[in-house]
Amino acid sequence: MSNLSNKISEKIYREGDQIVIKKTFDADQAKRDAAYAREVTENSFGSDYKHVGNVDMGMLEIWLKQAGVKWTDTEAVKEVIKSKLMSNEFSALRVWDGKY
């Protein structure tokens, strides 16, 4: 996972009696990083290490919130990441196309 955020904006505003925080992210850099990693990462059959994909922490935060998963539930976090990376919507973030 990338340790840098691809957040391009954050707006905080009031909507009725609630405070809304709207974060906007640009996934282009993560997609470029994943494409580069597909070219140079050795994900050969039988190797112990697999670079599965590139996920920005901000994006992961959104995925977990949508799934209703807390950061402390590590098994559920793994499942959210796996299902998102295996979906067609986020396939550009995948580096390894194997099964796990």
The residues that bridge with 72 in the sheet, in sequence order, are none
Q: Answer yes or no: is 16 within a domain.
A: yes
| Residue located via tokens 């906007």 | 24
Q: Answer yes or no: is 54 within a domain.
A: yes
43, 96 contact by CB (below 8 A): yes
Q: Answer yes or no: is 29 within a domain.
A: yes
- Quote the number of domains for the chain: 1
Report the Cα–Cα distance between both ends of the chain, in Å, rounded. Answer: 17
Q: Answer yes or no: is 83 within a domain.
A: yes
Q: Answer yes or no: is 32 within a domain.
A: yes
Q: Answer yes or no: is 99 within a domain.
A: no
d(CA 25, CA 55): 12
Q: Answer yes or no: is 31 within a domain.
A: yes
Q: Which domain holds residue 65?
A: 7-93
Q: Answer yes or no: is 66 within a domain.
A: yes
pLDDT attached to residue 24: 83
Digit-by-digit pLDDT tens for the chain (100 residues) are 444 557 788 899 999 999 998 888 777 888 888 888 888 877 665 666 777 888 888 889 889 999 999 999 999 999 999 999 999 898 888 887 766 6
